[in-house]
A and B are shown apart, each in its own frame.
Chain A
Amino acid sequence: MYLNHLSVSGFRGVGYPLDMPLGHRTIIYGPNGSGKSSILQAIAWAVYGKLPLFTGGVFTREDALVNDFLADGSATVSLVFSNDIVISRVRDKQGSTTRGTNPLTVSIGAEDPQATVDNLIGLSLEEFYAAVFLHQETIRDFITTTPEKRSAAIDHMLGTHLLRTLVKAVDPAIPSKAIVGAQRTLEYLDVQLSQASVLSREVIWQHKQEHGDPAELPHLLEAIRQNLAPIAEGLGLSPPGASLADLEDYVEAVRQAQLRLSRDLEGRAGRLDTMRERYEQVSKEVIEDVSIPDELDQSRTNLQDGIEALRQDEMNLARQLDQRRATEQEIQELVGQVGELPVLQDEIEETKRNLEGIRADTERTTLYNQILTAGHEYLEQASPDHCPLCKQQIADLASLLTLLYEETPQDIDKMRREFKAVELSLVEMQDRATRLEQKKQRVGELKEVLIHIPEDIEAQIERGHGEQEQLNSRLTEVQAEISRIEGRIEVAADRRSQLEGVLTEIEKVLGYSPGEDIAGSLSQEAQALREQVTEVQAIDIQPIAKELERARQLRDIQKDEHRLDDLESEYQTANRQRIRLSYHIQRLTELRNGLQDIAETTKTHQAAIVMEVLNNLDIDEYYQQLSPHPAYRELQIEPELTKKGTYHYWIKALTDDRSHGTYVQTRFSTAQANCAAVAIFLAVNQHLSSKLETIILDDPTQSMDPEHKMRLAETLAAYPRQVIVATENPETFELLARALDKPTVHELGPWSVAGTSLAN
């Protein structure tokens, strides 16, 4: 069965009606957006009434189906098959986005037109889109999608997708979970019912024979309470309650109180013993009062005074020693200076004589000068012509005056200055001599002082040191003795303090002053406490505990009687519930087994179909025709069973000798992978059990080079089924037009508001 004619109007990109005869080989050629895909989708919509989305799901709403630019009208598609059956589908435009209806009519008339068409085609929408209609998205599913999606697409091709979904969806765990819940409830009921079987009237009667009648229980409890009362009083507890639980708690409380009191009394007795031992020990260690002897104290004072006196003496001697050394040094210095005095006195005498000489010379010179002056005055007044004797005398006097003049120093002032200088020098020397005399006198005084300073001061100091050392040594001994005594005084005070502490503690524990015999009082008190311990421990509550145990038995018998009454009344209900649950478990188990059987069988069936179909496919033949990979020249689909029980399909390429293999999606280029996908599509379609012997290819040569396009055109030319192919590629179009035998060509014009139009 082929498609002979397609009429489309108002569908998606198609506006005004198009009438398109479809030949054995049909090419639809036009630019992008011209409406090629709308025309091809119209075929699918006419058959199934919905369009698949690329991302899953289907297009059914008006805005996805009816042409947007028509003011009113409808989307109408009619298909004429080669057996003259005509189908038409209409979607009236109502201006809404609701799902709406797409009524289908079939020329042969049918109650259920869709069922008639489904039967006519023999494929589901998904199978149609996987195995008849090859779209770029289908190719992409082979190449880039997840193994799950790829496998689902191949299952659609192989017709096993329904089985894949069934295996995945049939879950025996749902009834299994319900079975587990019912079994738990059943087990609980079985326990309840088994208790009823254990509790029987006969067993209860035997218990009564052994322990008594539960009716006695109130009297027994009262008797226990009466017996406990004096014990409680003795232990300082409040009176017991009346119920069994109260009495059980009370007996336990009595035991605890008994233990507690015994421990307490024993502890107190022990503490008294310890205290007595401590008292005895401390009192033994107390020592008599000790004090420092007066003579020792006096001796220390005397020694300290003696040492102090020696220190004072030493200081005085040291001062004297310093004075002596300073005086001696001064004398030594003065004696050195006074040694110059005799020489100085000789110089003074010499200078005095010198001064007398100068004075005499000066006086004589003065006299000579007076004589010369008088002589010259006489010569000037005398007249030598008066007398020759006089004249001679006068000449002699003149010669004598000349001689005198020559002999007389001329500079009397110099002589006077010299005299003055010598005189000053003399005065200085005399002053100096006077100071030296004074120093000489000072030396005498100092020597007088030295006479009164002892010469053996250093020896005296040395002796003082020796005496000081002796006294210090003695003082150290005295101090050590005093320290020893002071230590004993401290120890005595400490022990007295300890004893006082112990006595205070004893008085506090006893509550009274123990008197003279402290150790005896403590022993007596400890003994009294131990006697109390013995009394407390002697309280025997075992008989009461036994009575209490009997009361418990009676109470249990009473409970069993009530429980048995209840169980007997509930038994019927529980048994009915048990039967009902058993019935549910049986039916749920049947359902679970059925689902397991179906899942397993379906899985096996799917595997068998898959293997059979794969074995019959000519994938490799088409792959060879469509220019295979240079190395991997064989192509196959390899099924792999997953843990979930479904198959994943891997598209595998092998070398000729099958020594190497690779997965197409990991190693092939896009064009090579496209070729592989087209080969699988063609192989599957050829063996499809549909009555419609047609393939529809929407732009199949994307990413292909001219070689691949040419091989595809040649393969399609030889394909045994009807081929409807759309392309926008001029090269592809030319190759197809040349390769296909008498193709029906529909060339589309450019897009317009009116929609797709035919150019030819």
Chain B
Amino acid sequence: MTLVEQITANLVDPDNHGPILKALIDTLEVKGERGIKELIERWVEEIEQADPPEDSEMQE
């Protein structure tokens, strides 16, 4: 069992948080500590640029 798999198995929400963990570890191995901060900031920017799906607008 890889390290990612070991930690994922213990996450509260492995389905949703597992991919985040994998992306973080992949970035950490390639770009180090600073890469992780940049990745999280990029995720935040992407979320802030994103439009809600049509159905959520309908619900409102």
Residues of A within 8 A of B (CB): 162-163, 165-166, 168-171, 174-175, 178, 182, 575-576, 578-580, 582-584, 587-588, 590-591, 593-595, 597-598, 601-602, 604-605
Contact = CB atoms under 8 A, between A and B. Distances in A.
Given A579-B57, A597-B13, A605-B10, A169 B36 contact: yes
B41 to A, nearest CB: 6
Given A170-B40, A597-B11, A598-B17, A162 B28 contact: yes
Given A174-B40, A178-B44, A605-B6, A597 B17 contact: yes
A175 to B, nearest CB: 5
Interface of B: 3, 6-7, 10-13, 16-17, 20-21, 24-25, 28-29, 32-33, 36-37, 40-41, 43-44, 47-48, 50-52, 56-57, 60
B3 to A, nearest CB: 7
Contacts of B43: 175, 591
Contacts of B20: 591, 594-595, 598
Contacts of A587: 47, 50
17 contacts: A162-B25, A162-B29, A165-B28, A165-B32, A169-B28, A169-B33, A174-B40, A579-B57, A583-B51, A593-B13, A593-B17, A594-B17, A595-B40, A598-B7, A601-B7, A602-B21, A605-B10
Contacts of B7: 163, 598, 601-602, 605
B36 A170 contact: yes
Contacts of B25: 162, 166
A494 B8 CA distance: 111
Contacts of A170: 24, 36, 40
B12 A597 contact: yes
Given A175-B44, A591-B43, A597-B12, 17 more contacts: A162-B25, A169-B36, A169-B37, A175-B47, A575-B60, A578-B60, A579-B52, A580-B52, A583-B50, A584-B48, A588-B47, A591-B20, A591-B40, A597-B17, A601-B10, A601-B11, A605-B6
Nearest to A587: B47
A593 B21 CA distance: 12
Nearest to B17: A594
Contact of B37 (A174, A588, A597): A174
Interface centre among A162, A174, A580, A601 (most CB of B within 10 A): A601
Interface centre among B24, B28, B47 (most CB of A within 10 A): B47
A522 B12 CA distance: 98
B44 A598 contact: no
Nearest to B40: A174
Nearest to B57: A579
Contacts of A182: 48
B44 A174 contact: yes
Contacts of B17: 593-594, 597-598
Given A169-B36, A579-B57, A162 B47 contact: no
Interface centre among B13, B21, B44 (most CB of A within 10 A): B44
B48 to A, nearest CB: 6
Contacts of A598: 7, 11, 17, 20-21, 24
Contacts of A168: 33
A380 to B, nearest CB: 187
A718 to B, nearest CB: 32
A601 B32 CA distance: 20
A461 to B, nearest CB: 127
A590 B37 contact: no
Contacts of A591: 20, 40, 43-44, 47
A587 to B, nearest CB: 5
A604 B20 CA distance: 18
A178 B48 contact: yes
Contacts of B28: 162, 165-166, 169
A175 B42 CA distance: 10
Given A166-B36, A174-B37, A598-B11, A580 B44 contact: no
A646 to B, nearest CB: 12
B16 A590 contact: yes
B50 A584 contact: yes
B37 A584 contact: no
A580 to B, nearest CB: 6
B14 to A, nearest CB: 9
Nearest to A588: B47
Nearest to B34: A169
B26 to A, nearest CB: 11
Given A162-B28, A169-B33, A598-B20, A588 B11 contact: no
A735 to B, nearest CB: 41
A231 B43 CA distance: 70
Contacts of B60: 575, 578-579, 582
Nearest to A177: B44
Nearest to A160: B3
Contacts of B37: 169, 171, 174
A17 B57 CA distance: 72
B60 to A, nearest CB: 4
Nearest to A179: B44
Given A580-B52, A588-B47, A175 B40 contact: yes
A582 B6 CA distance: 34
Interface centre among A182, A575, A583 (most CB of B within 10 A): A583
Contacts of B44: 174-175, 178, 588, 591
A575 B11 CA distance: 36
Closest 10 CB pairs of A and B: A583-B52, A169-B36, A594-B17, A579-B60, A169-B33, A594-B20, A587-B47, A597-B12, A174-B40, A178-B44
A170 B16 CA distance: 16
Given A598-B21, A601-B7, A605-B6, A584 B47 contact: yes
Nearest to A168: B33
Nearest to A173: B40
Nearest to B49: A584
Contacts of B6: 605
A294 B29 CA distance: 130
A595 to B, nearest CB: 7
Contacts of B40: 170-171, 174-175, 591, 595
A580 B56 CA distance: 9
Nearest to B33: A169
Contacts of B11: 597-598, 601
Nearest to B7: A605
A344 B1 CA distance: 176
Nearest to A181: B48
Contacts of B47: 175, 178, 584, 587-588, 591
B25 to A, nearest CB: 7
